[in-house]
Structure 1
Amino acid sequence: MKRYDPRLEYIEACAAKLVELEYSNDVVAHNRNLEDQINTDPDMMDLQPEIQWYMRPYLIDFLIDSHYSMRLQPETLFLAISILDRYCSVRVVFKKHYQLVGCTALWIAAKYEEKKSRIPQLKELCRLCCGAYEEDMFLQMERHVLSTLEWSIGLPTVESFLSPLLAAAQHTTSVVGHVARYLCELSLFHRCFLGYPPSTIATAAHAMAQYMLGHLSSLPSGLTCHQIQCINYFTSFIKTPSASLTKKYSKPAYGQAAIHVQNILTQQAQQQALAMPPTPPPVSMTMLTPPPPLSSGSGASSPYTPESPTNSDHLTPPHTPSSMAMNRAYAKVQAIDPRYAYPHLEMDIA
């Protein structure tokens, strides 16, 4: 197949960027109107007899790895997941066909977004699935997915709203775009994000990326409650990202976004540890110190030998018992054996 001249591709890309900047506001407004047609329903997906939510991360990992190996555009991945979710919202999918539906959705999205030379062939799809499905099965599933969705493929995705935000932002580095896409792809793994429109997720990811990288001193005040909820979800899930997602965004081609995020989280954890008050000693350590002796005037018994008050630093001998105490002690002994009470008397005991 004859390749295009690289110079023509560069001129075409520059012309496309100029057109996008000129009509960006109209494009965003049109995409917001199309958002209402996205019929992804997580409640209906809950009713799947065999597909469970714990299976979703494995399929998303597979699609991310496949998408990266074929060097496809970011929009292709988000469109593939959108097709997958819309199909699973209205059709029953068996567990043995779950990977087939996901791979077919990626194939349809590549046909819609990529140029002809980038579209994967059927033999490549069979190789990605390790020969689990034949080529005819991909063709049959493609027809079934398109008929189920009524051939409505080009609905807006998260990337459709994130790209204009990155293009319109001033003084924004490429790392912000990579971190924002990292957060957007993180949202593909979790059910809670399916209830929000793509524009909300894109705006929340962009604001959080700017804030994490220090481009904003605080989060924008104009965020809606739904966007703030998405940011809270990002804060929770960003601590345990997928291994495939971390591997992908640790590469220099993606600005090492995962490494930047991990460094930021480590710094925040260290700052929180320094700001915390010192930990008090455990109770077992405080019990090792003996309590001070009670004063003689309190009348309570003490295990310590009473000491006479003195002005010197030396301890004085114990108190000599009083005569009344001695008499009581001798009376008790005499009741037992008088010889022990008065040893100086010679008494005959019969």
Structure 2
Amino acid sequence: MKKGAKERRRRCSKNCPSSSALPPVVLKHYTSPQTPPLKPKRIAQMVVYPPTPYDSVIQQQKIKEFDCREPEHEHMYLVEQIEQLQLQEQKNPPTGPYLSSMNTDITPSTRSVITDYMVRVCQNFKLSDNTLFLAINVMDRFLATERPHMVSKDKLHIISLTSILIASKYNDVNVPSVDQIVKDCEHDREDILCLETIILNTLRFTLSVATPSLFLQLYFQFWECDSLIKVMSQFVCEVATQDYGSLLYYPSDIAYSSIHLCKYIHAVHKGMRHDAESFRSCVSRCVLHLVDCVFKMSKTRLTGTMKKYSTEEPFNVVQVVTNTVNFIRLAS
């Protein structure tokens, strides 16, 4: 019995390879079905070894080294974004006072009324601020490039609604339907869709444009602005966009000037020492234009933007901004 057991063990050990003779684990994956099987030498180069603790430490260092959340990398990234937006606004410069060169019955005051209406429509559909600024930009560029018979006062209503529809499709996720848009005007569904095609063809589908709202978002991160300054700057930019005279300025100038103005307003509201006369003497022309825009808005019946920001917490943004603007104008 013992001799037979020894013989069986000898035969088994002869047929079975030892542990040292076992081949290593290899990657049995090909890039495509057409790739021929790998040669033995190539397989030997693709041996899979378990990662060591040192490898994981090196990987963590690389991730931290190229992490955009690092302050210096984030600063460089913001600068590049701002420069790209500035190049983009150079390709689509402000339209300027286009109504003066057109034979139309639309006046600057009519444009202010229709932009105030667009503010209320965007707020009703809960659209973003970027959509509002883009919709106003689309409407202005279309009116500046279209034939005079297309830009009469009776067609301005449907043009503004169609611009909102186009901007919401480009920016927002919850886009209002055409049927919802039709409820706010006397035109039917086919008119909206036809005008949408005309506007897009006229603008050559150029919807990626720089707006004050986009610059504000980057400037807020660049200067690490207070939340109150953010709300006030957004309010001032929205008021300025509704003013016809703002078409002379670039979006980056409007955004930068609004932050500069609101930092001064915030300092006055906090009770810091201020000199309105010296402020007017050292600021840019665009800042003074924003002061005039807010002052004129407070004296008109256009209440869309006023109601939108009058409920902001922790204080009434409209009241604080208008009171300081009146103080600046009295010092002149």
If the TM-score is normalised by the length of the shorter chain, which range does it land in?
0.5 to 0.7
C-alpha separation in 2, matches of 1:70 and 1:38: 28
Correspondence for 1:112: 170
Structure 1 counterpart of 2:232, one-letter code: V
Q: Does structure 2 retain, via aligned residues, the 8 Å contact 1:204–1:227?
A: yes
Correspondence for 1:250: 310
CA change 1:61–1:193 in 2 (3 A) is same
* C-alpha distance after superposition, 1:213-263 (max 9, x if no partner): 107867999x87443443453464354263121111111369631132245
CA change 1:48–1:184 in 2 (3 A) is farther
Structure 2 counterpart of 1:233, one-letter code: D
Correspondence for 1:148: 202
Q: Does structure 2 retain, via aligned residues, the 8 Å contact 1:204–1:228?
A: yes
Q: Are 2:211 and 1:157 equivalent residues in the alignment?
A: yes
Structure 1 counterpart of 2:296, one-letter code: F
CA change 1:128–1:149 in 2 (3 A) is same
Alignment equivalent of 1:205, drawn from 251, 258, 263: 258
Q: Are 2:152 and 1:94 equivalent residues in the alignment?
A: yes
After TM superposition, give the deviation of residue 81 of structure 1 in Å. Answer: 0.4
C-alpha separation in 1, matches of 2:111 and 2:314: 24
C-alpha separation in 1, matches of 2:317 and 2:235: 7
Overall identity of the aligned pairs, in % = 20
Correspondence for 2:112: 57
Correspondence for 1:124: 180
Correspondence for 1:76: 131
C-alpha separation in 2, matches of 1:198 and 1:24: 17
Correspondence for 1:173: 226
Structure 1 counterpart of 2:172, one-letter code: E
CA change 1:256–1:235 in 2 (3 A) is closer
Correspondence for 2:34: none
C-alpha separation in 1, matches of 2:134 and 2:324: 30
C-alpha separation in 1, matches of 2:117 and 2:140: 15
**Normalising to structure 1: TM-score of the pair?**
0.64
CA change 1:262–1:95 in 2 (3 A) is closer
* C-alpha distance after superposition, 1:160-215 (max 9, x if no partner): 11111112223x32221111111111112222110110001111111101101107
1:287-326 correspondence runs (5 A): none
1:5-84 correspondence runs (5 A): 23-46=77-100, 47-84=102-139
After TM superposition, give the deviation of residue 72 of structure 1 in Å. Answer: 1.1
CA change 1:97–1:72 in 2 (3 A) is same
CA change 1:160–1:122 in 2 (3 A) is same
Correspondence for 2:242: 189
Q: Which runs of 5+ in 2 are unaligned?
A: 1-66
Higher mean C-alpha displacement, 119-128 vs 255-264: 255-264
* C-alpha distance after superposition, 1:247-290 (max 9, x if no partner): 11111369631132245457x49xx7xx9xxxxxxxxxxxxxxx
Number of residue-to-residue matches in the alignment: 251
**Normalising to structure 2: TM-score of the pair?**
0.67
C-alpha separation in 1, matches of 2:315 and 2:125: 19
Q: Does structure 2 retain, via aligned residues, the 8 Å contact 1:77–1:106?
A: yes
Secondary structure of 1:152's match? Answer: coil
Q: Does structure 2 retain, via aligned residues, the 8 Å contact 1:50–1:94?
A: yes
C-alpha separation in 2, matches of 1:246 and 1:16: 38
* C-alpha distance after superposition, 1:298-345 (max 9, x if no partner): xxxxxxxxxxxxxxxxxxxxxxxxxxxxxxxxxxxxxxxxxxxxxxxx
Q: Does structure 2 retain, via aligned residues, the 8 Å contact 1:178–1:255?
A: no
The structure with the largest alpha-carbon Rg is 1
Q: Are 2:227 and 1:227 equivalent residues in the alignment?
A: no
Alignment equivalent of 1:136, drawn from 180, 184, 190: 190
Q: Does structure 2 retain, via aligned residues, the 8 Å contact 1:207–1:220?
A: no
Structure 2 counterpart of 1:31, one-letter code: L
Higher mean C-alpha displacement, 212-221 vs 155-164: 212-221
Correspondence for 2:63: none
C-alpha separation in 1, matches of 2:69 and 2:136: 26
Secondary structure of 1:258's match? Answer: helix
Higher mean C-alpha displacement, 234-243 vs 198-207: 234-243
Structure 2 counterpart of 1:187, one-letter code: A
C-alpha separation in 2, matches of 1:28 and 1:164: 7
Structure 1 counterpart of 2:106, one-letter code: I
Structure 1 counterpart of 2:306, one-letter code: T
